[in-house]
Amino acid sequence: MKVVELVQGDITELAVDAIVNAANNHLWMGGGVAGAIKRRGGAEIEREAVSKGPIPVGSAVATGAGRLQARYVIHAAVMGQDLATDAEKIRQATRSALALSTELGAKSVAFPALGTGVGGFPLAQAAAIMLDEIISHLQEHATPERVVLCLFGEQAYSAFAAELKQRTLPEGISAKL
């Protein structure tokens, strides 16, 4: 049984194979989720990421995870240098990160709410887009088996929980809130 799990907390503390960074297309790690990953995991994550950029908005690259429990950080470019995002960029970045997690053989991957911090995208819309992509990917691929949406703050958790609760999940996929 595959699982879509929601947790409220700090993505850098999760014991998963890969965590997703809501990145800009030049892959420098400033504030928000990226800043937290760099602070906890080490500056080597940013150095490796920047060496692989710039990348097209909507695509993703993987790096090591430094001192994090995860093995990989998947940098999903959800915005360009203007730090603006939209529904299609979030959809493509989610899809690219999931495809890369499968390519890496990750059995578990954790996502933040892409585009909702610096990008300013509405939480409820991000939840709908990301859950569409996650559920579709889980139906079509063997891995990952567990996708964790790690949400920072009650408002983000509530928005994603409301979206997940209203869905009828396909056979073989369960929700854990």
Average pLDDT of the chain, as a whole number: 97
pLDDT digits (tens, 9 = 90+) for 65-89: 999 999 999 999 999 989 899 999 9
Contact assessment for residue 27 and residue 73, using Cβ atoms and an 8 Å cutoff: no
Which two structure tokens, joined as six digits, stand for 170? 């396909």
- The per-residue pLDDT for 153 is 93
In sequence order, what E strands does the chain have? Answer: 2-8, 18-24, 60-64, 72-79, 108-111, 146-151, 173-176
Exposure class string for 72-88: b at 16+ Cβ within 10 A, else e: bbbbbbbbeeeeebeee
pLDDT under 50: residue ranges of the chain: none
> What's at 138, amino acid-wise?
L
pLDDT at 49: 98
pTM over 0.85: yes
Angstrom distance (rounded) from CA 158 to CA 128: 13
Helix 154-165 × helix 123-140 angle, to 10°: 50
Q: Which domains occur in the chain, in start order?
A: 2-176 (3.40.220.10)
Contact yes or no for 34/50 (Cβ under 8 A): no
Distances (CA, A) of 164 to 3, 77, 104, 159: 12, 24, 26, 9
